[in-house]
Structure 1
Amino acid sequence: MSINNINNNGQKQVIDNQKVNQQQTQNHQANEAAKSAPSQPVRQDSVSLTQSAQQLAQVQKKSTEVPVNQEKVERLKKAIQSGEYSVNPENLAKNIALQESEIFGRN
């Protein structure tokens, strides 16, 4: 005994082909509609920076323009690596406060 067309393969293939054709037709129609539709104005993106961000950008720019004393940098590196470099915490705090007041205009 033989069983033919158990899953109706022939009929299913016809249905699948119909779906593909419908999708292709819809895609083609959508593409044609997009081509013939009046173009909408292009939106312009914009960015605005806060005052703090602008100040930070200025400080960063200035820091790249400052010349570097490479000899001093090398001397400090060697002193740190050998353990000979010591930091005076009071002097460091005073200098940090002075720099902040110069950067942010506070006295």
Structure 2
Amino acid sequence: MTINNINNANKPQIDGQKLAQQQTPSQTANANTAQAATQSTASRQDSVSLTTSAQQLTQVQKKSAEAPVNQEKVDKLKKAIADGEYKINPEVLAQKIAKLESQIFGNGI
């Protein structure tokens, strides 16, 4: 099948079959590459392994999600923070963080 050039009658006509033959090898190569990529992906199996620290952290998160929440205390703290009345003692905070890390990671402080 030939395609007539509509815009310029002086230009030669394009042969549709030759154009298709010229495009086919590159399209076939692209299809083969895609098929090979799919096959290599399908044959490979992914796996995940967590470190012991990550496993411990997951356990702590599960426990904290199950722990009861004292909503009255939470509301009281929110109000104190919003009013600028809540004061933080950095030494006590540091001790509590160290204790928590010791409990989570077992470093024994």
TM-score, scaled to structure 2: 0.63
The equivalent residue for 2:98 is 97
Distance 2:70 2:107 in 1: 28
1:1-107 to 2 correspondence within 5 Å?
A: 6-7=10-11, 9-10=12-13, 13-14=14-15, 16-21=16-21, 23=23, 27=28, 42-107=43-108
Do the aligned partners of 2:53 and 2:105 also contact (CA within 8 Å) in 1? no
> Displacement of 1:67 after TM fit?
1.4
Report the 3-state secondary structure (helix = DSSP H, G, I; strand = E; otherwise coil) of the residue aligned with 1:97: helix
Larger Rg: 1
Question: Once the two structures are aligned, what percentage of the paired residues are identical?
Answer: 57
* Structure showing greater relative contact order (alpha-carbon pairs closer than 8 Å, 6 or more residues apart): 2
CA deviation vs aligned residue, 1:20-49 (integer Å, no higher than 9, x gap): 14645975xx79xx8xxxx89743221122
Q: Which runs of 5+ in 2 are unaligned?
A: 1-8
RMSD of aligned alpha carbons:
3.0
